Amino acid sequence: MNIVILDAYTINPGDLSWNELEKVGNCTIYEHTPQEKVVERTKNADIALINKTGLYKEEIDQLPDLKYIGVLATGYNVVDVDAAKARKIPITNVPAYSTMSVVQMVFAHLLNYTQRVAHHDQTVKEGRWTQSRDFCYWDFTLIELADKTLGIVGFGRIGRAVARVARALGMHVLAVNDSPIDPLPEGVKQVDFERVFKASDFITLHCPLNSETLHLINKESLSLMSPDTFLINTGRGALIDEHALADALNQGLIAGAGLDVLEEEPASADSPLLYAKNCTLTPHIAWATREARARLINIATDNVKSFLEGNIKNRVG
């Protein structure tokens, strides 16, 4: 059984192992694959594993030996599902491997804003504390989270985990979801979009990206927020109209934003959020703790083994 991984580097830049997968079959691993080389590198493969490299109709139609596509991620928009279905090629993904890692990043951005850790570290190392008349100083109003309100847009697995941490910190939680939340966790209120935008001190996005949520954060929704509201996005970049958010930040209409995802990735050099006021950006790494990446490899390997045993797990197409 010939297995090819077309873009292994982001999942395993060298600190993990593909050994268990390599025991399953003849495994060829490429760190990166340009789109124009997908067919060449996959032409003899029975099994193709991909992360962000695309397998679309043009490629699938040229791969007569291909029997299985495994996406090394949760989202699978990099595969033409209809083209694979026409060839009876199953597609699997890797769900729920990074939940707590994403939760950590939500609170990393939130706490960086409330305590300004990076800023004060920099000023201390520049000599400011050494020269200070007082034993302490701060350049921003420091914020206690207890009794503040966190609005969670999308109350799936990650949204629920975020709520648990928020409640442990003494926060009130408002949740927006496309269906009734049942059971509703203690301390969580389900509300509509308008209420969550108006009433939250912090808003974090965990909803799927679809036609209804594309640019959910836009000029209109931003206008509902308080100048003290801080926005966090570790979900999908296109949930946010980036020009509208940059304008709101630069005009002081909201307090700030912590973003791990952008609509275009890697970030475009002319992205307005690179230069917006009070905007902290991380390069799509909420999922990427070593532990989460190890789980991803283990689940993906188990998916392949299950396929070979005739019992497909985590099938999405």
Model confidence over 289-310: pLDDT tens digits? 999 999 999 999 999 999 999 9
Percent of the chain with pLDDT over 90: 100
Number of helices and strands in the chain (H, E): 11, 12
Tell me how far apart the alpha carbons of residues 284 and 105 are, in angstroms, rounded to a whole number. 10
DSSP per-residue codes, 159-202: HHHHHHHHHHTT-EEEEE-SS--SSPPTTEEE--HHHHHHH-SE
Q: Residue range 65-72: average pLDDT? A: 98
Catalytic residue among 116, 120, 172, 236: 236
Q: Where are the beta strands (DSSP E) in 52-107?
A: 68-71, 91-92
Concerning whether 265 is annotated as a catalytic residue, the answer is yes
Concerning whether 295 is annotated as a catalytic residue, the answer is no
Catalytic residue among 126, 144, 194, 265: 265
Q: Phi/psi at 118 (nearest 5 deg)? A: -60, -45
Tell me how far apart the alpha carbons of residues 109 and 309 are, in angstroms, rounded to a whole number. 43
Concerning whether 87 is annotated as a catalytic residue, the answer is no
- Give me the pLDDT at residue 99, please: 97
Which of 136, 164, 138, 137 minimizes the C-alpha distance to 150? Answer: 164
Whole-model pTM? 0.94
Q: Which H helix or E strand runs over 47?
A: strand 47-50
Is the CB of residue 40 less than 8 Å from the CB of residue 61? no
Beta bridge partners of 151: 174, 203
What is the pLDDT confidence band of residue 61, given thresholds at 50, 70 and 90?
very high
Domains located in the chain, CATH noted: 2-97+290-308 (3.40.50.720), 99-281 (3.40.50.720)
Q: Residue range 143-156: average pLDDT? A: 98
